Amino acid sequence: MTELPIDENTPRILIVEDEPKLGQLLIDYLRAASYAPTLIAHGDQVLGYVRQTPPDLILLDLMLPGTDGLTLCREIRRFSNVPIVMVTAKIEEIDRLLGLEIGADDYICKPYSPREVVARVKTILRRCKPQREIQALDAVSPLIVDESRFQASWRAKPLDLTPAEFRLLKTLSSEPGKVFSREQLLNNLYDDYRVVTDRTIDSHIKNLRRKLEALDEEQSFIRAVYGVGYRWEADACRLD
Strands across the sheet containing 157-159: 143-146, 151-154, 157-159
What sign has the CA pseudo-torsion 4, 5, 8, 10?
A: negative
Query: What is the per-residue pLDDT for 140?
Result: 52
Q: What pLDDT does 41 receive?
A: 96
Domain ranges of the chain: 12-128, 143-239
- The CATH class, in words, for 12-128 is alpha beta
Burial of 156 (0-12, 13-18, 19+ CB in 10 A): exposed
Instruction: Look at residue 93 in the predicted model and tell me its pLDDT.
Output: 60
* Each residue's pLDDT tens digit, 191-210: 554 545 667 788 889 999 99
At residue 14, φ and ψ (nearest 5 deg) are -95, 120
Per-residue model confidence as pLDDT tens for the chain (240 residues):
655 455 567 899 999 999 999 999 999 999 999 999 999 999 999 999 999 999 999 999 989 999 999 899 989 988 888 999 988 877 666 655 554 457 778 888 888 899 999 998 998 888 766 433 333 344 456 888 887 677 888 888 899 998 888 889 999 988 888 899 988 888 777 655 454 566 778 888 999 999 999 988 888 899 998 888 999 986 655 544
Residue-wise burial string across 209-221, b where 16 or more C-beta atoms lie within 10 A, e elsewhere = bebbeebeeebeb
**Could you tell me which of 175, 230, 183 has the C-alpha nearest to residue 222?**
230
CB burial of 40-55 (b: ≥16 within 10 Å; e: otherwise) equals: bbebeebbebbeeeeb
Contacts of 78 (CB under 8 A, 6+ apart): none
Angle between helix axes 182-189 and 198-215 (nearest 10 degrees) is: 80
Instruction: Enter the pTM of the model.
Output: 0.57
- Express each pLDDT in 95-106 by its tens digit: 555 544 577 788
Architecture of the domain spanning 143-239: Orthogonal Bundle (1.10)
Residue 199 C-alpha from the chain's centroid? 16
pLDDT for position 121: 93
What's the confidence (pLDDT) of residue 7?
A: 56
